Amino acid sequence: MIKRVCVYCASSAKINKIYFDATEKLASYLADENIEVVCGGGSSGLMGKLADTMLAKGGRIIGIMPRFMKEVEWCHTNLTEIHLTETMHERKQKFLENTDGLITLAGGCGTLEELLEAITLKRLGLFTKPIVILNTNGYYEPLKQMLDKSIEENFMSELHRKMWAFVNEPEDVLKALNEAPEWNADSIEFAVIK
Ligand code: AMP
């Protein structure tokens, strides 16, 4: 049962409207389903759109932000809750605590780094929840190809492909979260390719 999700997404506002529209749609579905969202807490870009839409629909949105970002006023001011951390590392750890799933929307290096860390933790059995990547406008095709290549070249195994799901439309995200293959802490046993 999905009650709370973590959403990684862009801070940039200078991106095609198509990414904002997809974010708005997804936030609407999440709010309608009473799913609580944890995010970076920023007010700009897709993070801002996610928060504004959740709030307008009466949903709960929790931001986790390092203190230095709040000090430079990057923080959204109306979030349901805001948790401040001392470091970026602590922030990333908190994103994944008590979440039932992870959704990644389009984003830059911050989003990619957060997503790849979650995939790495999942490979090691330290994070076991579903990971769904919203491939709006085919933005994540190169990442999909990179992950495929790393399996083809035996840097990961076929078993690892079950760690993530790519979907094209916001309306497919919840289904993908609910239908994600089960993943257990014992995945550490096949983390290394021999
Ligand atoms: P990116 O995908 O590169 O835009 O990065 C999104 C992530 O970058 C967030 O989770 C934050 O770690 C960080 N970040 C960058 N700019 C901001 C901002 N203006 N407000 C909040 N977080 C930001």
State pLDDT tens for residues 70-116. Answer: 999 999 999 999 999 999 999 999 999 999 999 999 999 999 999 99
Domain that holds residue 179: 4-190
- Count of structural domains within the chain: 1
Identify the residue whose tokens are 């993943």: 183
* 170 CA → ligand 1 middle, Å: 21
Mean pLDDT, the chain, whole residue set: 97
Instruction: Give the model's confidence band at 131: pLDDT under 50 very low, under 70 low, under 90 confident, else very high.
Output: very high
pLDDT in tens, 15-59: 999 999 999 999 999 999 999 999 999 999 999 999 999 999 999
**CATH code where residue 81 lies:** 3.40.50.450
5 with 30: CB under 8 angstroms? yes
CB 132 near ligand 1, within 6 Å: no
Select from 80, 117, 125, 104 the least CA-distant residue to 26. 104
CA-to-CA distance for 117 and 121, rounded, in angstroms? Answer: 6
Of 11, 19, 73, the residue with max ligand 1 atoms within 8 A of its CB, to mutate for a pocket test, comes to 11
- Position 19 scores a pLDDT of 98
Burial class (CB in 10 A: 0-12, 13-18, 19+), 84: middle
Ligand 1 centroid to residue 91 C-alpha, Å: 12
Question: In the prediction, which pLDDT does 140 show?
Answer: 98
User: Is 108 close to ligand 1, i.e. is its CB under 6 Å away?
Assistant: yes
Q: Residue 152 and residue 10: Cα distance in Å, rounded?
A: 29
